[in-house]
Amino acid sequence: MKRTSTRLADGRELIYFDERDDTVRDAPDTRDLPERAKGAELRYDALTDDWVAVASHRLTRTFLPPADQCPLCPSKPGRPSEIPAESYDVVVFENRFPSFSTDADLHSDPVADPFGRRAGVGRCEVVCFTSDHNTAFANLTEDRVRTVMAAWVDRTLELNDTDGVEQVFCFENRGEEIGVTLHHPHGQIYAYPYVTPRTTQMLASVAKYKDGTGGRNLFEDLVEGERNAKVRVVAETDHWVAFVPDAARWPVEVNLAPLRRVPDLPSLTEEERDDFGPLYLRILNGLDRYFDKTLPYIAAWHQAPVRTGREDFGAYLQVYSVRRAPDKLKYLAGSESGMGAWVNDIAPETIAARLREVL
């Protein structure tokens, strides 16, 4: 694989991940772009100990353009896009409408009082999985998934080493029901200037479990428990297991975890990275057969923070959908949205049985 870094017209970085080592990437970005956005303002919620990004500039981001105006497709004569090339394998570039930015003030005061403010330090990137607009991740080749994995690893390593970044999150949103604004197959990477609430909660649970069990690891025991119970396991390979979590929140939900606990994607061996693609493609194709129609989903990589809890964290991929029936969606109503208290209409064992059937 060949990695080539270049700059777009407004100074944002773009990185090509090419599967041929002899590929040349020298086409310039010829667009006349406005000054790049500097990210959000972060406001502190003292009641929940969370940060909220206020990013008003994102209101103007591109929203469901027609295919011939897609900014993620390769550039064509007379129609330049975000990628100044006639074709590409995998591309990563800085988001034009970021929630976090390396241009923000790194030294802003993190918490001054219950109304604390700080700059949205960090980085937001777009990951284009293919130059083909009319396909999906589930249709990629195993080799292409390996290239995407290489891009995730590359970005996690570099962003973990970026000043002000505390956690890196690789994810994909698919489907208008999820809120996708561009149909081209792509994902995103957020480099946060804080440890996210979900991860903070998991780390607290892991520490509590470790103290209460004489040093046992919660991630390892959960994976081993699911493998022993078998009833929620969907599929397993030499290095990975896919299972529906025992307390699944979503009407369709599956986790993919390496059998060997690692804190993040860069910690995977070459064999583990190679083994991921075939299983993930099986799962994604099965998900589209779950209701016999294209399934909207979020695929979220949970990785250890940069400086906290790395020795006990276990990285895994969570894939879940808001679709609860062929013609119905799950909405986060009063209990979930107001109180964070979840109710799932479908038993996790039923979800797993259906996934095994469609696989």
Closest by CA to 259, choosing from 275, 273, 238, 229, is: 238
Active site members: 186
CA distance 136 to 280: 13
Q: What are phi and psi of 90, to 5 degrees?
A: -130, 135
Please report, as a single letter, which amino acid is at residue 8: L
Q: What are phi and psi of 105, to 5 degrees?
A: -75, 110
CA distance 115 to 117: 7
Please report, as a single letter, which amino acid is at residue 337: S
CA distance 99 to 246: 33
Query: What tokens appear for 30 in the block?
Result: 């010829």
Please report, as a single letter, which amino acid is at residue 5: S
